[in-house]
Structure 1
Amino acid sequence: MRARIPERPGEPRRLAVLDGIRVLAALAVVFYHYVALASAWGQPTTDVFPLARRFAVYGWLGVEIFFLVSGFVICMSAWGRGLGDFAASRVARLFPAYWAGVVFTSLVLLLWPEVRPGVKYTDVVVNLSMLQGGLGVPNVDDAYWTLFVELKFYALFALVVLRGLTYRNCVLFCGTWTLAGVVAPTADEGVLSFFAMPSASPYFIAGIAFHLMRRFGPNAVLWVIVGIQFLLAQHYVYGRMTSSLGAAVTERTPLWPAHLVILLGFAVMAALALGTLDGIRWRWLPHAGALSYPLYLIHMMAGLTLIHHFRDRVAPVPLALGTTASMLLSAWALHRLVERPLGRRLGAALRRGIQDIRVAAAPPRPEPGGLPGQPAVPGTDRVPAGRQGVS
């Protein structure tokens, strides 16, 4: 008989450090879009922010950190849930804020088409499904490309939830996905590459392994999984940097800071998995972390439009800081007025619907004292003759 891997007792419902990592990752992406991109400033940002731009060109790595955290959080939040509950929780978590973000960004681009012409109505409608990445429809906001990657991760992880979320199944999933990601670039198979996501999967897989460490304790297998994902993540740094900055800029930009940021991200998640950071419980962190998702959804096109509109009237540094503050305030309003109340209602409605489906699909129960549709024998709790002992 195999020994059962013990779970860590008393696991907190929310880890404050994860909120801190989220908000730092979101601010890094904002920093990258506002300081490194030249589209809104009308001139090279090397002239606008000669010093800050040297750091901002690495802000795209916030996306990689988001993926790393997502692997950890999805594995943690799905534990003990069935497939229906898992799907309901993901829909309720992602879509209310996303719908509001799509509408908000579309209105900004429609009213002030300064950095991009107004979007098409049909594109907005498809974007509301979050499936535009698979249909070849342009994103209303360029930052939304990551959301389709997240959806594909959820679809893959749902297979684990369907089979049963256990330590063994998670490890098998990590190994299978790693193999698919290694084979995909040379297999010349579009479907395999579509789901394997070789440049993103190392972060999701490492996050899952870190959660398994947190839940069951570290061991050699989990460290090997993390180590392989770390090496694969480092392999894709140049390609990700080129896709973010362009080949010409990448050739002039040192790569080592990007490698270092990934190392630090893995190190922080390892410390979290081992419980080293459990003492960090600052009360403001959950509130800050709650703003990370709505901030990510609305900051890019709306913020760049704001910068473009006021670039000739406000100095660059105050304009960048003011735009960031405006987006944070808007994210807070979106969270309080839309994401939190609508997310709760949508989640409750979806769970009721799932429960109704379960009830409807369940086999009918025998009536007391008899088979379905057969009346009970008056005055006795015994089932009719010939059915005694059948359960």
Structure 2
Amino acid sequence: MSQRRRFTEIDSLRGLAALIVVFYHYTVYYDEKFGHEQWGQIDLFTFGHYGVQLFFIISGFVIYMSLMKVKSVSDFAIKRSIRLYPAYMFAVALTFLIVSLASAESLRTTFPEAMVNLTMLQDFIPAVKNVDGVYWTLRVEMTFYIIMAILLSMGLVKKTMVIAGTWLAASTFIRMMNAALATDLTAFIEKYSMSNYSQMFIIGMMFYCIWQHGGSKRYYGMITLAIGYDFIFEGITNGLFSILFVILFQLILMNRMQWLNSPILLFFGTISYPLYLVHQNIGYVIIYKMESAGFLSITFILVPFLASVLIAYGIHQYIEKPSQNVLLGMYKDKREGYLKHPLIKK
């Protein structure tokens, strides 16, 4: 199977997933949470929350690819932090400010909670509220990073099949234990072990192996087990979407999804992270203000969407890119200086 330095189709797929989630939040989820005055239920976006499922599969692929390139746990942690924190911290501050100024009581967090949010660890602390509702997924991602960092420190990260099999078995045990006992402790373990989503990351990891090493039956076998896990513990609809996303990934690896390389989708892939971070609560404030002013047509959904896109582009262009260039440059210089120190053995 031919290999390329980067799959731009996966970037576009990430952008497509972000768009699906955005419109789901602005229509179906907003209606469930607050009630649109006129829009009603928008059936087209009923399944939009499955875009998060696609994000996790993409993350499994991309992060596992990154792990193969890093030198150490600290190298992995620093590079991930540089990638994630600048845009995130700005998004937290901006969202907190806008929600506070809008006096959106149901969305508000306290200033101390906002300070904790800046660490990206708030969802590990049950009493602390997220500044934006979508941040719960960052706890899942962070748990995945921690698991991978532990495996990297133990020199086990390349034993992909052992990792995937053990992880899926452990997740199965945890889900069965919680189903049988249903205590606060078992529910806590299920939530914070990310056993609800481990199958998604495993599918992504397997596709990295398929891309890197070819389509071995064992990789497809593990993907089949992960899909089976999804059907058993998450339901038929979840399982069917997993199959759809697996087909999409397979077609990408076979170079059959070239249409994803359109400039528009690549643009949304580029700004997908900041767009995901800022769209929900800021968009909700805009929707509420519009409806209060009598702008009730579904076409006005373009207003919060375009506002979120503009904010996301600004964050990407003026916060994310410059900070990453500066911080990665500083890290590279410091690391090279350390390696050139006369006391460091070659």
TM-score grouping bracket, smaller chain normalisation = 0.7 to 0.9
The correspondence of residues 126-137 of structure 1 with structure 2, limited to 5 A, is 126-136=116-126, 137=128
- CA separation in 2, counterparts of 1:203 and 1:286? 23
The correspondence of residues 30-69 of structure 1 with structure 2, limited to 5 A, is 30-38=22-30, 43=35, 48-50=39-41, 53-69=42-58
- CA separation in 1, counterparts of 2:260 and 2:282? 34
Match of 1:378 in 2: none
Match of 2:207 in 1: 210
Partner deviation per Cα, 1:295-335 (whole Å, 9 max, x = no partner)? 10000000000000111331332221221111111111110
Pairing partner for 1:179 from 149, 169, 173: 169
Pairing partner for 2:283 from 300, 303, 306: 303
Quick check: 1:277 aligned with 2:257?
yes
Pairing partner for 2:77 from 74, 79, 87: 87
Quick check: 1:74 aligned with 2:66?
no
User: Which residue identity is paired with 1:149?
Assistant: V
The alpha carbon displacement at 1:196 in A equals 3.4
Match of 1:338 in 2: 319
Match of 1:381 in 2: none
The alpha carbon displacement at 1:275 in A equals 4.1
User: Which residue identity is paired with 2:327?
Assistant: L
Pairing partner for 2:114 from 115, 120, 124: 124
The alpha carbon displacement at 1:336 in A equals 0.3
2:12·2:260 contact (CA, 8 Å) conserved in 1? Answer: no
Structure 1 residues 278-287 or 218-227, which shifts more? 278-287
User: Which residue identity is paired with 2:249?
Assistant: M
User: Which residue identity is paired with 1:63?
Assistant: V
Match of 2:18 in 1: 26
Point out the structure with max Rg over C-alpha.
Answer: 1
User: Which residue identity is paired with 1:296?
Assistant: Y
Quick check: 1:147 aligned with 2:138?
yes
Q: Give secondary structure in 2 for the equivalent of 1:55.
A: helix
- CA separation in 2, counterparts of 1:298 and 1:292? 10
Pairing partner for 1:162 from 153, 160, 177: 153
2:60·2:205 contact (CA, 8 Å) conserved in 1? Answer: yes
- CA separation in 2, counterparts of 1:88 and 1:355? 15
Unaligned ranges ≥5, structure 2 = 179-184
TM-score, normalised with respect to structure 2: 0.87
1:28·1:59 contact (CA, 8 Å) conserved in 2? Answer: yes
Change (3 A) 1:198 1:117: closer
The alpha carbon displacement at 1:77 in A equals 2.3
Choose between structure 1 and 2: higher helix proportion: 2
The alpha carbon displacement at 1:31 in A equals 1.2
Q: Give secondary structure in 2 for the equivalent of 1:119.
A: coil
The alpha carbon displacement at 1:200 in A equals 0.6
Q: Give secondary structure in 2 for the equivalent of 1:60.
A: helix
Q: Give secondary structure in 1 for the equivalent of 2:48.
A: coil
User: Which residue identity is paired with 2:60?
Assistant: G
2:227·2:239 contact (CA, 8 Å) conserved in 1? Answer: no
2:109·2:130 contact (CA, 8 Å) conserved in 1? Answer: no
- CA separation in 2, counterparts of 1:303 and 1:95? 22
2:107·2:281 contact (CA, 8 Å) conserved in 1? Answer: no
Structure 1 residues 35-44 or 198-207, which shifts more? 35-44
Partner deviation per Cα, 1:264-295 (whole Å, 9 max, x = no partner)? 11110122234443685444543321111111
The alpha carbon displacement at 1:135 in A equals 1.6
- CA separation in 2, counterparts of 1:106 and 1:336? 21
The correspondence of residues 226-375 of structure 1 with structure 2, limited to 5 A, is 226-238=223-235, 256=237, 259-277=239-257, 281-311=261-291, 312-353=293-334
1:72·1:204 contact (CA, 8 Å) conserved in 2? Answer: yes
1:214·1:275 contact (CA, 8 Å) conserved in 2? Answer: no
Match of 1:106 in 2: 96
- CA separation in 2, counterparts of 1:280 and 1:186? 39
2:99·2:108 contact (CA, 8 Å) conserved in 1? Answer: yes
The correspondence of residues 6-21 of structure 1 with structure 2, limited to 5 A, is 11-21=3-13
- CA separation in 1, counterparts of 2:315 and 2:234? 33
Question: How many pairs were matched up?
Answer: 336
